[in-house]
Structure 1
Amino acid sequence: MSVDDSPAVQAAARFAAEKIAPRTDLADVDGFPDDLWTAMAAAGLFGYGIAPQYGGAGLGPEDLARTAGALVRAGGNVPAAAAWAVHTTAARQLLQRLAGEEAKAELLPAIALGESSAAMALSEPGVGAHPKRLSTRAVRDGDAWQITGSKAYISNGPRADWYVVLAVSSEEGGRKAFTGFLVNRDWPGVTRATDSGVDFPGALGHCGLELREVRVPDRYRVGAEGAGDAEILRRVRIVEDSLMAPALTEAVGRRIAAAAAHLRNAGGADDETASALGRMASEQRLLALAAPHLLAHVEAGGDDAALFGYRAVAHDLHDGFDSLRQQLTGGAPLDALDRDMLQLGRVARSIDALRYRALGRGLVQKTQES
Structure 2
Amino acid sequence: MSQTTSEAVADLIQRWRAIDPADRLGDPFGAMRRAGLFRIGLPGDDASLDSFSAIALAEQAIAATTGELGLATAFAGRQLIARFFIAGFADDAQRSDLLTRIAAGDCWAAVAISEPGAGAHPKHLQTAAAPQGESFVISGRKAWITNGPVADIFLVLAIVAIEDGRKRYGLFAVPRETPGLTMTPMPSLDVLAPASHCELALDQCVVLASARIGGERDAYPAMALPFRDVEDTVGTATTAGFLTWLLRAIAAQVEPSEDHAVRLGRLAGQVALIETTSRAAVLSLDDGTPPVPARLIGIRALAAGIVDEIRAHFAVARTDDRVGRALAAYDVLANVAREPRKQRQITLGQSLWSERHE
Q: 1:153–1:197: 8 Å Cα contact kept in structure 2?
A: no
Change over 3 Å in CA distance of 1:203–1:120 after alignment to 2: same
Q: How does 1:1-370 map to 2 (within 5 A)?
A: 6-19=6-19, 22-23=21-22, 35-52=27-44, 58-195=49-186, 201-264=192-255, 268-269=256-257, 271=259, 274-299=261-286, 300-305=288-293, 306-325=295-314, 329=318, 334-365=323-354, 368=357, 370=358
Q: 1:120–1:165: 8 Å Cα contact kept in structure 2?
A: yes
Change over 3 Å in CA distance of 1:61–1:195 after alignment to 2: closer
SS at match of 1:263: coil
Change over 3 Å in CA distance of 1:43–1:328 after alignment to 2: closer
Q: 2:113–2:142: 8 Å Cα contact kept in structure 1?
A: yes
Change over 3 Å in CA distance of 1:199–1:357 after alignment to 2: farther
Q: Select between 138-147 and 356-365 the one with higher mean Cα deviation.
A: 356-365
Residue 274 of structure 1: how far off its partner (Å)? 4.3
Q: 2:74–2:195: 8 Å Cα contact kept in structure 1?
A: yes
Residue 230 of structure 1: how far off its partner (Å)? 1.8
Residue 113 of structure 1: how far off its partner (Å)? 0.1
SS at match of 1:310: helix
Residue 164 of structure 1: how far off its partner (Å)? 1.0
CA RMSD of aligned residues (A): 2.8
Deviations 1:69-95 (A, max 9, x none): 111222332211211111101111001
Q: Aligned residues: percent identity?
A: 29
Q: 1:298–1:304: 8 Å Cα contact kept in structure 2?
A: no
Q: Which amino acid is 1:183 matched to?
A: V
Q: 2:5–2:49: 8 Å Cα contact kept in structure 1?
A: no
Structure 2 segments unaligned to the other structure (5+ residues)? none
Q: Which amino acid is 2:137 matched to?
A: Q
Instruction: Determine the C-alpha separation between the residues in 2 that align with 1:294 and 1:49.
Output: 16
Change over 3 Å in CA distance of 1:121–1:327 after alignment to 2: same
Q: 1:325–1:332: 8 Å Cα contact kept in structure 2?
A: no
Instruction: Determine the C-alpha separation between the residues in 2 that align with 1:137 and 1:117.
Output: 23
Deviations 1:263-312 (A, max 9, x none): 22xxx4563x5433322111001111222232221341522513333333
Instruction: Determine the C-alpha separation between the residues in 2 that align with 1:323 and 1:178.
Output: 47
Instruction: Determine the C-alpha separation between the residues in 1 that align with 2:135 and 2:125.
Output: 21
Q: Which amino acid is 1:317 matched to?
A: I
Instruction: Determine the C-alpha separation between the residues in 2 that align with 1:174 and 1:344.
Output: 35
Instruction: Determine the C-alpha separation between the residues in 1 that align with 2:213 and 2:219.
Output: 8
SS at match of 1:291: helix
Q: 1:13–1:67: 8 Å Cα contact kept in structure 2?
A: yes
Q: Select between 226-235 and 329-338 the one with higher mean Cα deviation.
A: 329-338
Q: 2:9–2:49: 8 Å Cα contact kept in structure 1?
A: no
Instruction: Determine the C-alpha separation between the residues in 2 that align with 1:309 and 1:328.
Output: 24
Q: Select between 328-337 and 105-114 the one with higher mean Cα deviation.
A: 328-337
Residue 189 of structure 1: how far off its partner (Å)? 1.1
Q: 1:325–1:331: 8 Å Cα contact kept in structure 2?
A: no
Q: Which amino acid is 2:124 matched to?
A: R
Change over 3 Å in CA distance of 1:335–1:12 after alignment to 2: farther
Deviations 1:108-133 (A, max 9, x none): 11111001110111111122212222
Answer 1 or 2: which has greater helix percent. Answer: 2
Q: Select between 285-294 and 116-125 the one with higher mean Cα deviation.
A: 285-294
Deviations 1:214-253 (A, max 9, x none): 1121211112435212222211122122223222211111
